[in-house]
Amino acid sequence: MRRPLGLALSGALVVVAARAVVRHARTRAGDPAAARVGAASATSAPSAAPPAAREVVLGTERTSAAAGRPPADEPAHPPQGRRGAMQAMVVLVGLLACAGVAIPLAVPGTFGGRSHVTSISREAGGPSDPSGRRSGDVRRSTVPPRPVVVTSVAPASGSAGVAPDTTIAVRFSDPPAPGSPDPSLSPAVAGTWQAVGPSELLFTPEASFVPSTTYTVTVPVGSIGVRARSGSVLARPFTSSFTIEPGSVLRLQQLLAKLGYLPLAFTGPTPVPAGMAIAQPGAFVWRDRGFPGAYTSQWSPTRVTAITQGAIMAFETQNGLQVDGTVGPALWSTLLADVAAGKRDAWPVTYVLVTMTLPEHLTVWVNGVLTFAHVPCNTGVPGAATTVGTYEVFEHVEVSNMRGTDVTGTSYDVTVPWASYFHGGQALHGYPRAAYGFPQSNGCVEMPISTAGRVWPDTPIGTLVTVV
């Protein structure tokens, strides 16, 4: 009922306003009928002489010839009439607006230099939508929040030679909302993410990054991704990778000594876990002092010598790694884990010296202690001589089958006990001979079977064998 009544009232107001405009215009133009209506409605106004006949042409007023022309300086009435009409129109517009009629207003616009039309419409007492706004209210478009982006990351993507105790900083264009997920690292590293500013997260490692390893930082997106306090989400997936610098030989040997794989001890400070792959100040001290000069002369704290290589191979074997003596990410990762767990070398550090001076013999030191001295042995015959030099045992088996052709062209296929291979097909092993102490083998170092059985347990993978 409210809307029909409003429409009826609006129509009546429009009619009244229109009549007022017409009557006002006629009065100003000298219309006798309008004058009579005006005279009747204004009883106190004095009578006026009938006006001269006039013509109104395109809003311009002029007198007929019979009535005479007005003086040149006499002001014309039409401007006043137009002003009155405009005033009436203003009243009409106001009435229409009050009545709830939509009035288009031409307003200069800014889109491409064109004008656009804005429609203003308000209806008092109109129905409300669920948001509480009236149906006649002006609706404004809601601009969605801008997407969140990662503005910077450190270390920068593609960085190499990064320190193993580095921190990671990720900065966003907008502050992340509380509860947003943290970035992730692959491979994983123990540590914590913390906000260090309104828009920055900092990762502090609680363990060392692994040398020579490439890490990838990933910032999650989507429904479970980072969300800003404004409600916006990450614009696109974000990843950044960096590579840790290679570990130093010095630090490698400090850690091998700490775990007992070297015949030396390292005295120096213990760093925080995040700095465990960084070389520390300190000194090496021979733990096992009974080794001969032929062995100790091969040591260097900053170079990978045969002593270092043997320790690496022993470490690889005990941790199930490929026994190749390569110092790569796999070895560093396992080495750091063993340091954290306190896992020490379970084997002895052994050195075997084979002397080909007649009578040929070998000597064995275990953890610096002379264990076997002047054990008679046989080396290779001329044409198949045992190779001179220092080597690491790379295969350690109780029984081994050997096949080949000797220097005479005769084929052989024998099974030998207690074999420790140190150079190609050359090995320490037991073999039955009538006598020992001179060249008889096809390159191996032969011992009496009973003696070989006692030596074999102390010559695991990584044992150094020197042939002189």
3-state secondary structure of 103: strand
Same-domain pairing of 162 and 240: yes
77 against 207, higher pLDDT? 207
The better pLDDT of the pair 132, 364 is held by 364
Per mean pLDDT, which range of 133-137, 347-351, 455-459 is the poorest? 133-137
pLDDT of residue 28: 52
As a whole-number percent, the residues of the chain with pLDDT over 90 amount to 61
* pLDDT, position 229: 86
- CA 464 to CA 392: how far, in whole Å? 5
Q: How, if at all, do strands 426-430 and 411-423 pair?
A: antiparallel
Confidence of residue 206 (pLDDT cuts 50, 70, 90): very high
For residues 41 and 450, the model is more confident at 450
- The pLDDT score that the predictor gives to residue 223 is 74
Same domain, yes or no, for 285 and 316? yes
User: pLDDT class for 200, splitting at 50, 70, 90?
Assistant: very high
Residue 430 lies in a domain: yes
Strands 191-197 and 200-205: antiparallel
Which residues share a beta bridge with 194? 202
Nearest alpha-carbon partner for 402 in 389, 421, 384:
421
Q: Are both 304 and 199 inside the same structural domain?
A: no
pTM for this prediction? 0.68
Distance CA(418)–CA(72), nearest Å, equals: 142
pLDDT at 197 > cutoff 90: no
Please give the pLDDT value at position 435: 97
- Phi/psi for 437 (5° steps) reads 120, 5
Length of the chain: 468
Q: Count, in order, helices (H) and strands (E) of the chain.
A: 8, 23
**Average predicted confidence (pLDDT) for the chain:** 80
Closest CA to 351 of 396, 411, 291, 304: 291
Asked if the model's pLDDT at residue 112 lies above 70, the reply is no
- Helical (H) or strand (E) element with 96: helix 78-98
β-partners of residue 171 are: 152, 200
Q: How far is CA 448 from CA 358, 377, 435, in A?
A: 17, 8, 9
Query: Sorting pLDDT into bands at 50, 70 and 90, what band is 234?
Result: confident
Q: Which of 192-201, 219-228, 294-303, 363-372 has the lowest mean pLDDT?
A: 219-228
> Cβ(157)–Cβ(168) under 8 Å?
no
pLDDT at 143: 62
Range in 146-155, 313-322, 355-364, 450-459 with the lowest mean pLDDT: 146-155
> For residue 81, what are its two tokens?
């009439």
- Asked if the structure places residue 255 within a domain, the reply is yes
The pLDDT value given to residue 306? 97
- Asked whether residue 140 is domain-assigned, the answer is no
Where does the pLDDT of residue 109 fall: very low under 50, low under 70, confident under 90, or very high at 90 and above?
very low
Q: Which residues of 65-93 are buried (b: 16+ CB within 10 A; e: fewer)?
A: eeeeeeeeeeeebbeebeeebeebeeebe
- For residues 225 and 181, the answer to whether their CB atoms sit within 8 Å is yes
On the question of pLDDT at 424 being above 70, the answer is yes
Burial bucket for residue 238 (CB in 10 Å: 0-12, 13-18, 19+): buried
Q: What is the pLDDT of residue 87?
A: 57
Q: What pairs with residue 388 in β-bridges?
A: none
357 and 307 co-located in one domain: no
Q: In the structure, what pLDDT confidence band is assigned to residue 113 with cuts at 50, 70 and 90?
A: very low
Prior bond of 4 cis (ω within 30°):
no
pLDDT attached to residue 195: 92
Q: Using CA of residue 340, residue 314, residue 214, residue 278, what is the dihedral sign?
A: positive
Q: Which amino acid is at 46?
A: P
Tokens coding 464: 């150094």
Does residue 20 register a pLDDT over 90? no
Q: What is the mean pLDDT of residues 115-133?
A: 40
- Quick one: tokens of 75? 């002001």
Same-domain status, 228 and 268 = no
Q: Domain check: are 304 and 356 in the same one? A: no
Predicted confidence (pLDDT) per residue in 363-380, tens digit: 999 999 999 999 999 999
Task: Give residue for tokens 């004008």.
Answer: 115
> How do residues 303-334 score in pLDDT, each as one tens digit?
999 999 999 999 999 999 999 989 999 999 99
- Residue 173 and residue 239 share a domain: yes
- C-alpha closest to that of 264 among 334, 368, 347, 365: 368
In a domain, 455, yes or no: yes
**Separation of alpha carbons 301 and 286, rounded Å:** 12
**What does the pLDDT look like over 75-90, one tens digit per residue?**
444 445 555 555 555 4
Quote the pLDDT of residue 16. Answer: 53
Across 359-440, the runs of DSSP E, i.e. the strands, are 361-366, 369-376, 389-392, 395-405, 411-423, 426-430
Alpha helices in 319-442 (DSSP H): 329-341
Question: What's the number of domains the chain is made of?
Answer: 3
pLDDT value at position 160?
98
Question: Does residue 334 sit in the same domain as residue 409?
Answer: no
Q: What is the dihedral sign for C-alpha 224, 230, 233, 236?
A: negative
Task: Return d(Cα 252, Cα 258) in angstroms, integer.
Answer: 10
**Which of 244, 259, 289 lies at the terminal end of a domain, its last residue?**
244
CB neighbour class for 346 (10 Å; exposed up to 12, middle 13-18, buried from 19) = exposed
* DSSP designation for 134: B
Could you tell me if 264 and 334 lie in one domain?
yes
pLDDT confidence of residue 146:
78
Q: Residue 240 maps to which CATH number?
A: 2.60.40.3710
Tokens linked to 336: 């750091």
Tell me, what's the pLDDT at 236? 82
Q: Are 306 and 298 in contact (CB under 8 A)?
A: yes
Reply yes or no on whether the pLDDT at 47 is more than 50: no
On whether both 257 and 361 belong to a single domain, the answer is: no
> Is residue 68 assigned to a domain?
no
Torsions phi, psi of 425, nearest 5? Answer: -90, 10
Q: Report if residue 51 sits inside a domain.
A: no
- Predicted confidence (pLDDT) per residue in 1-11, tens digit: 444 444 455 55
Its domain, for residue 236, covers 150-244
Measured CA distances, 389 to 270, 310, 350, 396, 467 (Å): 37, 14, 16, 19, 5
Can you give the pLDDT at residue 179?
Answer: 86
pLDDT at 49: 40
Residue 297: what pLDDT?
A: 96
Whole-angstrom Cα distance, residue 263 to residue 307? 9
Check residues 216 and 139 and name the one with the higher pLDDT: 216
For the chain, helix, strand, coil in percent to 5 are 25, 30, 45
Mean pLDDT of 394-415: 94
3-class secondary-structure state, position 174: coil
Contact predicate 95/114, CB 8 Å: no
Considering the domain architecture, whether residues 260 and 189 belong to the same structural domain is answered as no
pLDDT band at 221 (very low <50, low <70, confident <90, very high): confident
Domain check: are 219 and 254 in the same one? no
